[in-house]
Amino acid sequence: MIKQANLSHEDMELLSAYLDGALQVKEVARFEFRLQESADLRQALEVHRQLQWNLRRLPRPKLPHNFILTRAEAQAVKRQKAWIPIFSTASLVSFLLMAVLFVLPLFSPAASPAPQNLAMEPSLSAPVTPATAESLKAQVVPEASPLPETTPTEMVPAPMAATSNSSAESVYIFFYSSQVMGKGGGGGGDASLASGGGGGDASLASGGSGGGGLDAYLYPTAQPAGNPGTFGNAPYGIVVPVEPIYGKNPGLPQALNYDLEQALAATPSLPPLILGMDLKNGGQIISTEPALSTFTEPTATASTQEATQSLSAPAEVPLRSPEPGLGAETPTGNQAQTRAAQSSNLVNIFKIAAGTLALLFAGLALSFKKR
Amino acid sequence: MAEVELIEKALKGDLQAFNDLVLTYQEMAFNLAYRMLGSTAAAADATQEAVISMYRKLESYRGGSFKSWFLRIVSNECLDELRRQKRRPSISIDQENEDGEIMESASWMKDDSLPYEDQISNAELEKALTHCLDGLEEKFKTVIVLVDVSGEDYETVAGTIRVPIGTIKSRLARARQKMQDCLQGYGELLPEKFRLSSDEVDD
């Protein structure tokens, strides 16, 4: 029996290469010298030679058949091959599309400003319908109308129904006013639009209802609630039922009464404070629904109760009127936000679809390549 | 017809030239597949797949040894098949001993009831060698099959599996040593020259 030789891996490599005749001439001479010296090496060499000889003698299996290709097989292979560039290209295009969808929003000018600006910006260019102080007075709620007990935030879900039901008889007014007048801007839309609303001066605004917020509403108010205000001789008031940002009375919104003519006269020198509007446009109606042309001014006698009823439910005041000529083509803040969200969702869907298609086509291309 | 000429024609789409090349190397390819996979049916499938794959990739052939290129495709097919087999394990030929443990070598195949002289037969030796080959890692098996079974030189093997010749030498030395270790499990089943012992000193 032969002793298991304790040879290093280097020795085994030399021995293996020597056996295959893969050593250089100098290496052969050196290895043969070592062979003469070491019995272990000679024995290991003999064992490996025997192993190799037996491996070479292993019977070769008979071929089961020839492995040549028939013409039909060759054509099938070519047909499969034709799909590879198609799928590869489709995969590449899908990946590029996905990359564009990811990268493009980063360079889009719409991506940099805050979303509320998208909603507010059109108001600067929207046509503004001039209105006199008298017409404004005629459109506000009677003095005796009770103040709704619900808080403004509770009223938010209702406005759409109220709008659709009472659109024929109700008038929605949105005011831009100055800080000194204390009316508060009352930005439309949601909280993101709040920055557009000017803050009212609480000291002048009978409890302070400044600050923009969620949709502004018109509804009958308890006019003398709290302080009737500096311009308390007006028969009607406007309530902006939002959480006041600051003011003397941060609780329930208060009725704001004013005389627009006096207010305008009192603030001649202030720069425009809201959305860059010129001060002379302050207090004007920029949006009505229905349009002013179709609106019949309620008489003082017959319309008091009617107006109270029509305005008892809070109605949403759109930032701009949907009427043609009154900026109907420009969306409200909510609509713009909804559209932005929808378009964002659409882009995300496209991203996912492009990614899925890219992976699918790549998989198909690889699959055909493997086949 | 010379191989270069056949290759040129095959590259131009001549199916007959391609098939002539296949006929030249198919036996060698099938033998490699058989030793790699250990089954005639699996070897036939792998060889056929390799031929189809070679036809599809013919345009990517960039000269050099066509035999190495073909063998590389065959060995890749075999390695893929071995990996598939690992994912879907079949019944092992390893047997449990009396204690229920899996025996590492194929020494369970020996039959002690036979006279000693009868045990040493070519069939037994072939079984032992085949079993030991099957037990090698893929990288060692490929090298030892190509060099010791198929008789390819180092350069062809290096071109086939795309590794440097130094790596071939190293892997081959390890593969032979592992084969030798495995064959120890057969003990006296093997010819005396295979029987290495670490506890007996040769005189």
Query: Taking CB atoms and an 8 Å limit, are B148 and A51 in contact across chains?
Result: yes
What average pLDDT does the segment B21-50 reach? 93
Residue with tokens 């109907």: A328
For residue B188, pLDDT over 90 is answered with: no
Q: Among all residues of chain A, which has the CA nearest to that of B39? A: A61
The per-residue pLDDT for B16 is: 93
**Best A41, A47, A58, A84 residue to mutate vs chain B (most B CBs within 10 Å):** A58
The per-residue pLDDT for A88 is: 80
Question: Residues B137-164: pLDDT tens digits?
Answer: 999 999 999 999 989 999 999 999 889 9
Query: Taking CB atoms and an 8 Å limit, are A16 and B172 in contact across chains?
Result: yes
The per-residue pLDDT for B121 is: 66
* Residues B202 and A39 sit within 8 Å (Cβ to Cβ): yes
Pick the CATH number of B1-88 from 3.40.50.300, 3.40.50.970, 1.10.1740.10, 3.40.718.10: 1.10.1740.10
Q: Quote the minimal CA–CA distance from A15 to chain B in Å.
A: 8
Query: Taking CB atoms and an 8 Å limit, are B52 and A77 in contact across chains?
Result: yes
The per-residue pLDDT for B89 is: 65
Looking at per-residue pLDDT, the higher value among A162 and B20 belongs to: B20
C-beta neighbour count of A322 within 10 angstroms:
18
Bridge partners of residue B196, in order along the sequence: A2
Bridge partners of residue A256, in order along the sequence: A238
Q: Closest Cα partner for B198 from B182, B186, B184, B179?
A: B184
For residue B39, pLDDT over 50 is answered with: yes
Residue with tokens 């290096």: B158
Taking any CB pair shorter than 8 Å as contact, residues of chain A touching chain B are: 1-5, 9, 12-13, 15-17, 20, 22, 39, 43, 46-48, 50-52, 54-61, 63-69, 71, 73-74, 77, 80-81, 371
Q: Among all residues of chain B, which has the CA nearest to that of A84? A: B56
Nearest CB neighbour to B176, from listed A16, A22, A74: A16
Neighboring chain A residues of B129 at a CB cutoff of 8 Å: 54-55, 58
Please tell me the distance from the alpha carbon of residue A187 to that of residue A24, in angstroms, as a whole number.
Answer: 91
**Number of CB pairs, chain A paired with chain B, less than 8 A apart:** 130
The per-residue pLDDT for B158 is: 92
The per-residue pLDDT for A132 is: 44
Q: What is the pLDDT along chain A (371 residues), one digit of tens a residue?
A: 444 557 888 889 999 999 999 899 999 999 999 999 989 889 899 989 988 998 988 888 889 999 999 999 898 888 877 777 787 888 888 888 888 878 777 776 655 554 444 444 444 444 444 444 454 444 444 444 444 444 444 444 444 444 444 444 455 555 444 444 444 444 433 433 333 333 334 333 333 343 433 444 444 444 444 444 444 344 444 444 444 444 444 444 444 555 656 665 665 555 555 555 666 666 666 666 555 555 555 554 444 454 445 444 444 444 444 444 444 445 566 788 888 888 888 888 888 888 888 888 888 877 776 65
Q: Closest Cα partner for A41 from B192, B62, B56, B202?
A: B202
Specify the pairing of strand A315-316 against strand A2-3: unpaired
- Torsion angle of alpha carbons A84, A87, A93, A95, nearest 10°? -100
Q: What top-level class would CATH report for the domain B107-196?
A: mainly alpha
* Residues A156 and A189 sit within 8 Å (Cβ to Cβ): no
| Fold match flag (B1-88 vs B107-196) | no
DSSP 8-state assignment for residue A71: H
Hey, is the C-beta of B148 within 8 angstroms of any chain A C-beta? Answer: yes
Looking at per-residue pLDDT, the higher value among A123 and B186 belongs to: B186
The per-residue pLDDT for A193 is: 37
Q: Closest Cα partner for A89 from A363, A354, A365?
A: A365
Domain ranges of chain B: 1-88, 107-196
Nearest CB neighbour to B149, from listed A43, A56, A73: A56
Question: Residues B83-141: pLDDT tens digits?
Answer: 888 887 655 444 444 454 544 444 444 444 544 454 456 777 888 899 999 899 999 99
Which residues in chain B (4-43) have CB-CB distances under 8 A to chain A?
15, 18-19, 22-23, 26-27, 29-31, 34-35, 40, 43
Indicate the SS3 state at residue A270. coil
The per-residue pLDDT for A86 is: 81
Query: Taking CB atoms and an 8 Å limit, are B197 and A73 in contact across chains?
Result: no
Q: Where are the alpha helices (DSSP H) in B38-164?
A: 40-56, 66-87, 116-119, 122-134, 138-144, 154-161
* Residues B76 and B29 sit within 8 Å (Cβ to Cβ): no
**Best A63, A73, A84 residue to mutate vs chain B (most B CBs within 10 Å):** A63
Please tell me the distance from the alpha carbon of residue A263 to that of residue A278, in angstroms, as a whole number.
Answer: 15
Looking at per-residue pLDDT, the higher value among A83 and B3 belongs to: B3
* Residues A170 and A315 sit within 8 Å (Cβ to Cβ): yes
Q: Closest Cα partner for A12 from B136, B139, B174, B165?
A: B174
Query: Taking CB atoms and an 8 Å limit, are A69 and B200 in contact across chains?
Result: no
Secondary structure E strands in A173-223? 217-218
Please tell me the distance from the alpha carbon of residue A193 to that of residue A196, in angstroms, as a whole number.
Answer: 6
Query: Taking CB atoms and an 8 Å limit, are B173 and A15 in contact across chains?
Result: yes
Nearest CB neighbour to B15, from listed A13, A74, A371: A74
Q: Quote the minimal CA–CA distance from A25 to chain B in Å.
A: 17
The per-residue pLDDT for B166 is: 92
Neighboring chain B residues of A2 at a CB cutoff of 8 Å: 192-193, 195-197, 202
Q: Quote the minimal CA–CA distance from A368 to chain B in Å.
A: 10
Tokens of A144: 């005796």
The per-residue pLDDT for A216 is: 40
**Best A4, A46, A80 residue to mutate vs chain B (most B CBs within 10 Å):** A4
* Residues A210 and A187 sit within 8 Å (Cβ to Cβ): no
Please tell me the distance from the alpha carbon of residue A354 to that of residue A356, in angstroms, as a whole number.
Answer: 5
The per-residue pLDDT for A264 is: 59
Instruction: Give, in degrees to the nearest 5, the angle at Cα A74 between A70 and A76.
Output: 115
Collect all residues with Cβ–Cβ distance below 8 Å to A134 and sequence separation of at least 6: none
Q: Among all residues of chain A, which has the CA nearest to that of B133? A: A55
Neighboring chain B residues of A66 at a CB cutoff of 8 Å: 22-23, 26
Do the interacting molecules here have an ipTM over 0.85?
A: no
